[in-house]
Amino acid sequence: RSDRTFTMIKPDAVANGYIGAILAKINKGGFRIAAMKYTQITKDQAMKFYEVHKNRPFYNELTDFMSSGPIVAAILEKENAVADFRTLIGATNPADAAEGTIRKEFAESMSNNAVHGSDSNENAAIEGAFYFSDMEII
Ligand code: CMP
């Protein structure tokens, strides 16, 4: 099978009504949805998910934000999924995001930046397993 990455449509983009538009861009980008769910995580779950950032100054803000409302979590498949998805979403800060990227179009700010994308194959597997059991990955 193809490589996998993990994504979340973050609370800002869900609240702004962008789920459909972002999924359309993901489909147009050639990614196959292997798993998907609409859910809301607790502050404790967000702290666990973002544990790698626990010493960063934005950790508290980030985990408050990610637990503040519903999200869409998904596992995506494509050749070179991790790198190609990061290209599709654009830079972390939407002010630096290239034209045509998801963050350029839909993100509000550095913290409310519409979507998550895994930064490595290893983290894609860890992050996907945080949300999905093997049975839920199609
Ligand atoms: P993401 O790459 O999905 O996962 C880590 C998140 O931390 C990142 O998106 C941003 O939303 C957030 N982040 C990174 N840097 C900052 C920052 N300087 N201030 C606030 N949030 C940040």
94-123 pLDDT, tens per residue? Answer: 999 999 999 999 999 999 999 999 999 999
Task: Note if the pTM is more than 0.90.
Answer: yes
How far is CA 114 from its chain centroid? 8
CATH of the domain at 118: 3.30.70.141
17-54 pLDDT, tens per residue? Answer: 999 999 999 999 999 999 999 999 999 999 999 999 99
Predicted pLDDT of residue 9: 98
Looking at the structure of the chain, the number of domains it has is 1
- Of 38, 90, 45, 78, nearest to 64 by C-alpha is 45
| Whether residue 58 has its Cβ less than 6 Å from ligand 1 | yes
Average pLDDT over every residue of 76-90: 98
Taking a C-beta distance cutoff of 8 angstroms, is the pair 93, 113 a contact?
yes
Residues in the chain: 138
Complex-level ipTM: 0.89
3-state helix, strand, coil in the chain (%, to 5): 45, 20, 35
Q: Is a pLDDT exceeding 90 seen at residue 1?
A: no
Pocket test of ligand 1: the residue of 50, 56, 92, 120 to mutate, having most ligand atoms within 8 Å of its CB, is: 92
| Whether residue 110 has its Cβ less than 6 Å from ligand 1 | yes
Query: For residue 111, what are the domain limits?
Result: 3-136
Predicted pLDDT of residue 33: 98
